[in-house]
Amino acid sequence: MHKFPIPIADDIIPERRRSKGLRTASIVLLGLVLAAPVEEGVSLCIGQWREVMGTNNEVRTPILDSVHDGLQDAHQSVWNCITPQFQRVPWSPRVVLTVAAVVVVLGIVMLKV
C-alpha cells in the first residue's frame, strides 16, 4: 500500500505581526489609569509608617474613597432589591443563602477536579 507524504507546510498560516505601537499605547494607558490609585496606596502606607514612628498626619485619598463609596452604594442597592424577596419566608435568609453559597462553591470545586 502506497502512503502519501504528510503535508506539513500547507496548514501553516503566517501569523500577522501585531503592532508595537498598539502594545505600547495600551501599556501607557494602563499606567495612566493605575497611577493615581497606586500613588494613593503608597501614601497610605507611608502615612501608617509615619504614625508608627510617632508623627500624626492626614492622608487624602479621593479616588480610593470614591471607589469605596461607589461599591458601598452598589452593595446597598443590591441588598435593598434582594431583601424584600426573602422577608416573608419561614426560614432565616442569612442561613439559607450562606448554605447555598457554600454548596455552590463545593459543586464548582468538585467539577473542577
Euclidean distance between CA atoms 22 and 4, whole angstroms: 44
Q: What is the 3-state secondary structure (H, E, C) of 31-78?
A: HHHHHHHHHHHHHHHHHHHHHHHCCCCCCCCHHHHHHHHHHHHHHHHH
Whether residue 85 lies inside any domain: the answer is yes
Per-residue pLDDT of 4-60, as tens digits, reads 776 666 656 667 777 788 899 999 999 999 999 999 999 999 999 999 999 888 899
The answer to whether residues 69 and 112 belong to one domain is: yes
Regarding whether 72 and 28 lie in a shared domain, the answer is no
The answer on 41 and 83 residing in a single domain is: no
Question: Which range marks the domain in which residue 95 is found?
Answer: 61-113
Are residues 66 and 55 located together in one domain of the fold? no
pLDDT per residue over 44-85, tens digit each? 999 999 999 998 888 999 999 999 999 999 999 999 998 887
Domains identified in the chain, total number: 2
Let me know if residue 24 belongs to a domain.
yes
Q: Are residues 68 and 112 in the same domain?
A: yes
Is 11 part of a structural domain of the chain?
A: no
